[in-house]
A and B are shown apart, each in its own frame.
Chain A
Amino acid sequence: MSLILILIPILAAVAILMGGKAKSLATGAAALNLILGLGSVFSWNHGVWDLSLQVLSKPSIHLALGFYDGMSVIMVILSVLVLFTAVMSGKCPEGREKLWYSSILLIGAGALGAFLSTDLFFFYAFHELALIPTFLMIGMLGSGERKEAAWKITIYLSLGSIILLAGLIWLVAASGSETWLFKDLLASSIDAETQSGIAALLIIGFGILISLFPFHSWAAPAYASAPAPVAMLHAGVLKKFGLYGLIRLYPMVSIGMQDWLGWLIVLLLGNILWVGFVTINQKRLDMMLGNSSVMHMGYIFLAFAALVQAGSSEANPLAIPAAVVLMFAHGISIALLFMLTDTIRRKTGTVELAELGGLAKAAPRLAFLFGLGAMASIGLPGLANFSGEVLVFLSGFNGYTGNGLGCVQIATILALWGVVISAVYMLRAYRQTFQGPSVAHTNSDHVKDFGPFCQIPAAILAIALLVVGIYPNSLLHLLKKEPAPSLETEQASN
């Protein structure tokens, strides 16, 4: 069944390349995916979604799809939400509809494939499938210094993927597992010394993909010059691949990760504080958002560091839910902000903060939605990011029994400062863009507010932020369920 979720966008992309009606096909496919994806919440742990085909016998690799646990469900919901809104947002240049829509769909298919894979190999491979159209779109249809940005992201992410692949091959070889299926891998064990080396490769490999400091410099320019849907999909969904992978594989290298805890803390503080200050200094709205997205990865890493310090998800039961909720919240909020920034660019012709001002008078609905996204990003209570960030900070101290403050606890205290930093840059950007006197290209003669149709995607994302913000249990209850219902039935029958 899960194959359908991946096949719908791929087949739609092929149909578009063959000459089908690009926009309606893409919207239809994304809408169908949205319905199926949201529907999967109710049925994900009934075997209907599972699929396993052996594609290679030596080594044994399966095209295995399905919802491995609640984390996969949440990431799939994030993917279908952002995919649907990405298809509907942004403005395709004349005559490039085929490339535009098929690329968006392929990126979405790759992301869904990665999160639905229950085989390590296809988990990796689908992510690569999503990267290629990302590179092409930035290079061909981006804005500003698109070629430099595209070349940079290509080199960085390819390098990251290769380092990651080295780590994964080593991981599987060291585990002695017969297959590449998650369930077999996670059931095997690796001796402590080997774990350390594998953990280092995984941190660097996934780290580059997540834009962990100091491997983050590709992110902001790429997002700034990427077409809006690509920025939404990459910053919102694809980047979460790395964190998802780290959390998924963590049990296999839990001892090895301990060796790198100190480094991890330093790097994630680099993300939160260093990149935070860099963000304050940005003069353009899109660059600011790109940097803020890099900065917020630091919080998720903080939850991961808390997990590493505790040693297992049993010792710190808050860490994984914290990371997952924040991944979801950040994905939705950054997608919303990138979408609206693109709207501002198209309506006013600029995203230089100095050239904007007073947009709220001409476009109140746009101002409201952007404000909502900005507030979410800061972490205002009632919005999804708040639930995530609070959980992250709580997880920093959860289950800690040492004397005095440990490194994770000190990092948590320092990371709280990040909330102030995000408030500074987000509020300043909001004031610069929407408040104050209007200038020539932002007054109501020149700028029209959102039409009702354009509001739909933004409204969907805003509602998602509110729902998770007010009732975070909507996500958390998915993470609490036992991942293997078949196990329970077996026990019951015994």
Chain B
Amino acid sequence: MSSYLLEIIVLIGGLVLLLIEAFISPKQKFKVAYTGIFILGIALFCLFFAKKGFSTENTELTRFYAFDSLAVFFKGFTIVATILALLLSLEYRKTLSKFTANPDSEDGTGEYYCLFLFACAGMMWMASAKDLVSIFVALELTTITSYILVGFMRRNVGSLEAGVKFLILGALSTGFLVYGIAWIYGATGTTDLALIGDQITEKNSTYLLFGLALILISLAFKVGAVPMHLWIPDVYQGAPTPTTAFLSIASKASGFVIMIRVIEPFLDSELGSKVAFILAVLAGATILLGNLAAIPQTNFKRLLAYSSIANAGFILMPLAAWNAGNDLTSKEVVAFYLAIYLIMTFAAFFILVVIHRNTGSDDISAFEGLGQRHPVLALMTAIIIGALAGLPLTAGFWGKFLAFKMAVTGGLWVPVVLGFIGVAAGFYYYFQIIRAMYWRNSLDESPIKISPLSLNIIAVLTVIVVILGIWPQPVYWLVGG
């Protein structure tokens, strides 16, 4: 069986769902999301329980398509992230339906769920793409879907503004990508990344580095790193919350897979130290900017946006300290970090949606008095926030710990120092939430209402965060290291 059947399941499923959606009555639109989750569940099942049954041999796609442990992990990652994003959309659909053609009916929310499946198929392909052409095609499938997802609430000015900003900057970054690919193709005569690795010589290094720099700029847009980070706060704040969560987790992760695929041949070649230096500069600048700019934020969604930039910086650190040896490899650390980042960030977005539904606000001040209004939710929020800040004995600590360990081993002293400054700043801005929850009182003393679905998901994610905090080894099993 060919492994790209996985993408086909998701893609065909999405198309069929879109057709069926047209015939579903407005009140039943949520069933589209459940069906989508079911389709993704099948894909996930096939991925994990039939992993050995898949192969890429004897197919025409072998040249473009890798099915290694990295690809398997990130395919699973994308599917899980999409399932969680769909669940989050179900919780968010009240807000979503306010801004559709027919306000306050769920007419026009069905397409929203289907779009996630297309984006998911694109990202799954990105996890396997090993040729510059297939990278570009997969990336575009995802990006174009994301434009719609961001601007979906088209009668909401914020969402619309976010959509336009995202579109313009996204198109610019695509331009960088194509231009970079052109330079690399010109210098080596191939788009296959494995062959490019053999073609790197002293002679063509200037062209290659220029092309690589252009591609890195475009990927920085995708993962939200300096110098292409400016869109993140506005787009994250304006977009519907499930889209924000999806962009900040799944989209970032697939950006990093592609980054790994593209830079790997360069880092293993004689240009390695130069490329690593560029990455170290990007990592240091991203960490510093993301964390320091997060300090004055008063809006939780915007805070998460800056935190997303900051995390991109922390993930760049192990890449800059490239290690492909048999000990802990950079790829494993990146995958490990992202897996944990997925759990805690999704939990934070679920909490945000619950708070938003109850208070109508995304501000940090909306958390005031949560300690009294819903003690259990407050406790779980405290654990998740602690994990995001990187407290020991929560999962969040291990990601940062491994990233730092990698960087210390690699001797990246400047990014490490900046990283520690960033973590210290992180304590400050994340703890503002805890301070608001427990030390301040809200004018509104009524209890917070939370749906059983949200409560269960947040509880499960929190428990995972705590268990992985004490025993992180299971993440390695998934990473396949």
* Residues of chain A whose beta carbon lies under 8 Å from any beta carbon of chain B: 17, 54-59, 63, 98, 124-126, 128-129, 132, 136, 139-140, 147, 150-151, 154-155, 158-159, 162-163, 165-166, 169-170, 173
Contacts and interface: CB of A to CB of B under 8 A. Distances in A.
Given A128-B391, A132-B391, A173-B405, A140 B424 contact: no
A56 B471 CA distance: 7
Nearest to B423: A162
Contacts of A169: 401, 404-405, 408
B341 to A, nearest CB: 17
Interface residues of B, number: 35
Given A154-B427, A155-B428, A173-B405, 7 more contacts: A56-B476, A57-B476, A125-B393, A136-B438, A139-B439, A140-B438, A165-B420
B473 interface: yes
B473 A63 contact: no
A59 B439 CA distance: 38
Contact of B393 (A57, A128, A173): A128
Contacts of B427: 154-155, 158-159, 162
Contacts of A57: 473, 476
A163 B473 contact: no
Nearest to B419: A166
Interface in B396-419: 397-398, 401, 404-405, 408-409, 416
A56 B472 contact: yes
A129 B394 CA distance: 10
Interface of A, secondary structure class, is helix
B371 interface: yes
Sort A-B residue pairs by CB-CB distance and give the 9 closest, nearest first: A125-B392, A158-B427, A58-B328, A139-B439, A128-B392, A173-B408, A55-B471, A125-B393, A162-B424
B460 interface: no
B438 A58 contact: no
Contacts, number: 73
A65 to B, nearest CB: 12
15 contacts: A55-B472, A57-B473, A58-B476, A59-B405, A125-B393, A128-B391, A128-B392, A129-B393, A155-B427, A158-B427, A159-B424, A166-B404, A169-B408, A173-B405, A173-B409
A59 B408 contact: no
Contacts of B473: 54-57
A159 B389 CA distance: 12
B327 interface: yes
B435 interface: yes
A129 B398 CA distance: 15
Contacts of B393: 125-126, 128-129
Nearest to A174: B408
Contact of A166 (B371, B382, B416, B434): B416
Contact of B470 (A55, A136, A139, A158): A55
Nearest to B407: A169
Nearest to B472: A56
Interface in B436-481: 438-439, 470-473, 476, 481
Interface of B: 327-328, 332, 371, 375, 379, 382, 386, 391-393, 397-398, 401, 404-405, 408-409, 416, 420, 423-424, 427-428, 431, 434-435, 438-439, 470-473, 476, 481
B128 to A, nearest CB: 25
Contacts of B328: 58-59
Contacts of A59: 328, 405
A129 B420 contact: no
Nearest to B434: A136
A387 to B, nearest CB: 35
Contacts of B416: 166
B392 A124 contact: yes
A17 B379 contact: yes
A166 B392 contact: no
B339 to A, nearest CB: 14
Contacts of B409: 173
Contacts of B398: 56
Nearest to A139: B439
Contact of A139 (B327, B375, B438): B438
A139 B435 contact: yes
A140 B371 contact: yes
A400 to B, nearest CB: 37
Contacts of B472: 55-56
B424 A158 contact: yes
Given A63-B470, A169-B404, A125 B424 contact: no
Contact of A154 (B327, B405, B423, B431): B431
Contacts of A126: 393
A136 B434 CA distance: 9
Given A136-B438, A139-B435, A173-B408, A129 B392 contact: yes
Interface centre among B328, B392, B398 (most CB of A within 10 A): B392
A70 B139 CA distance: 60
Nearest to A140: B438
Contacts of B470: 55, 63
Nearest to A131: B391
A154 B420 CA distance: 16
A59 B329 CA distance: 11
A389 B409 CA distance: 42
B435 A125 contact: no
